[in-house]
């Protein structure tokens, strides 16, 4: 899984209308597995942009839906890697071609049967004193338990559709991601607690500690000065060409 998409995957939010107010959520992330990075996470959502800052991995992810570009900001290496949505899609298509010959049983062992989905309503829950509805979604080997605050909205138009596109992956992994966002798009509200287990040793909990609907400062969307700029799309496509 591409590191700069980790934050987007762990968030797993529902679709919302473009008329909602800005939304900022500070969370505590804990867990184990290859994708786990304990620390504080801050998610910023505006009508056309999203940013996730994670102290555990010392990386930020900035998505500009209007410009159709995603930036991975590595504070440890002081590098900003840019990738357009188009480059990402082309790279994933190339990966799908390379994986076409992989036996289906191998991918099923990793991800399970992602055609099977089970949604369970677990009743009422409370996060930070805010009333939530708890839902369990089982997709293949992955199990998500979400405590959703129905009073909140993400102000990105067609958020789930956009995230499904951004997280396109080859093979069974791709089907898994697609189904994840299809199911979460049906939820009304924003998860304030998410517990994800069962996939590649993953056991990660993300729990909100603060929520704000105040306007997000414009400085939040500014890339850090003095960092090396890299073209991630070109690098990925060149690497895939080398494997042919």
d(CA 2, CA 232): 11
DSSP string, 138-176: EETTEEEEEEEETT----SBTHHHHHHHHT--SHHHHHH
- pLDDT surpasses 90 at 216: yes
pLDDT for residue 23: 94
Q: Strand, helix or coil at 199?
A: coil
Is residue 21 very low, low, confident or very high in pLDDT (cuts 50, 70, 90)? Answer: confident
For residue 68, the 8-state DSSP code is T
Q: What number is the average pLDDT over the span 39-50?
A: 90
Report the candidate in 183, 153, 178 with the shortest Cα–Cα distance to residue 165. Answer: 178
Span 100-109, pLDDT tens digits: 555 555 556 6
Cβ atoms of 60 and 78 closer than 8 Å: no
Q: What number is the average pLDDT over the span 33-44?
A: 78
Span 72-99, pLDDT tens digits: 999 999 999 998 888 877 766 666 665 5
Cβ atoms of 153 and 25 closer than 8 Å: no
Q: Is the dihedral of CA 147, 6, 186, 18 positive or negative?
A: positive
CB neighbourhood size of 222 (10 A): 9
pTM (two decimals): 0.76
Cβ atoms of 53 and 42 closer than 8 Å: yes
d(CA 170, CA 240): 13
d(CA 134, CA 115): 23
Tokens of 111: 């991800």
pLDDT for residue 2: 45
Any idea where the domains of the chain sit in the sequence? 3-242
Tokens of 200: 């590649």
- Round the average pLDDT of the chain to a whole number and report it: 77
Compute, in degrees rounded to 10, the torsion defined by CA atoms 168, 172, 175, 179.
-120
The superfamily CATH assigns to domain 3-242 is: Lipoprotein localisation LolA/LolB/LppX (2.50.20.10)
Q: What number is the average pLDDT over the span 153-177?
A: 58
């Amino acid at each position: 899984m591409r590191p700069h998409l980790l934050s987007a995957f762990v968030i797993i939010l529902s679709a919302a209308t473009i008329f909602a107010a800005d939304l900022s959520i500070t969370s505590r992330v804990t867990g184990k597995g290859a994708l786990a990075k304990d620390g504080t996470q801050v998610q910023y959502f505006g009508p056309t942009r999203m940013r996730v800052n994670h102290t555990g991995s010392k990386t930020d992810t900035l998505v500009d839906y209007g410009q159709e570009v995603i930036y991975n900001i590595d504070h440890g290496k002081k590098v900003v890697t840019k990738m357009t949505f188009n480059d990402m899609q082309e790279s994933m298509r190339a990966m799908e071609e390379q994986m076409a010959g992989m036996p289906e049983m191998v991918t099923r062992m990793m991800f399970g049967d992602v055609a099977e989905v089970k949604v369970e309503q677990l009743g009422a829950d409370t996060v930070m004193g805010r009333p939530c509805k708890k839902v369990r979604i089982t997709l293949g080997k992955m199990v998500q338990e979400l405590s959703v605050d129905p009073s909140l909205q993400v102000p990105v138009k067609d958020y789930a559709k956009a995230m499904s596109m951004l997280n396109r992956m080859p093979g069974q992994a791709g089907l898994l991601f697609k189904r994840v966002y299809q199911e979460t798009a049906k939820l009304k509200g924003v998860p304030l607690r998410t517990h994800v287990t069962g996939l590649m040793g993953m056991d990660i909990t993300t729990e909100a500690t603060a929520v704000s609907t105040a306007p997000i400062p414009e400085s939040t969307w500014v890339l850090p000065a003095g960092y090396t700029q890299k073209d991630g799309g070109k690098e990925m496509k060149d690497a895939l060409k080398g494997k042919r």
